[in-house]
Amino acid sequence: GQNIDQPTEMTATEGAIVQINCTYQTSGFNGLFWYQQHAGEAPTFLSYNVLDGLEEKGRFSSFLSRSKGYSYLLLKELQMKDSASYLCAVREIGGSYIPTFGRGTSLIVHP
């Protein structure tokens, strides 16, 4: 099984940088996903990490440290439209290979 932990809520200012952390415990790591979910909408895929290091995609970056069981999503130049929930999902080796989702972090961006 997996234990995935994310902060419940974060607030930040428009134009700033925010880092959303995700820690996990798993017996056989096989990939970590980040999704964004606006209120009342479907989650949409943001990033995937399976090797240590930083993956950059425009204003969003995702980092992974497998030895520490730790990932973060970094959002730069925050915009009001970035207000959403951010879901971390971890996949384990074996079994069904289906990722398990954390409870999500609600990010509020204010002017």
Partner 1 sequence: DVKVTQSSRYLVKRTGEKVFLECVQDMDHENMFWYRQDPGLGLRLIYFSYDVKMKEKGDIPEGYSVSREKKERFSLILESASTNQTSMYLCASSREQGAEGDEQYFGPGTRLTVT
- In the complex, the smallest distance separating the C-beta of residue 69 from partner 1, rounded to whole angstroms, is 18
User: Which of 16, 38 has the CB closer to partner 1?
Assistant: 38
Count CA within 13 A, CB hemisphere, residue 107.
28
**Minimum gap (Å) between residue 31 Cβ and partner 1:** 7
Q: Which residues bind partner 1 (CB under 8 A)?
A: 30-31, 33, 35, 40-45, 48, 50, 87, 91, 96-104
Cα separation of 37 and 103, whole Å? 12
For residues 88, 92, 96, 100, the Cα torsion angle rounded to the nearest 10 degrees is -20
Task: Let me know: does 30 contact 92? Beta carbons within 8 Å.
Answer: yes
Q: Name which of 37 and 70 has its Cβ closer to partner 1.
A: 37
Q: Compare residues 69 and 99 and give the one whose CB is closer to partner 1.
A: 99
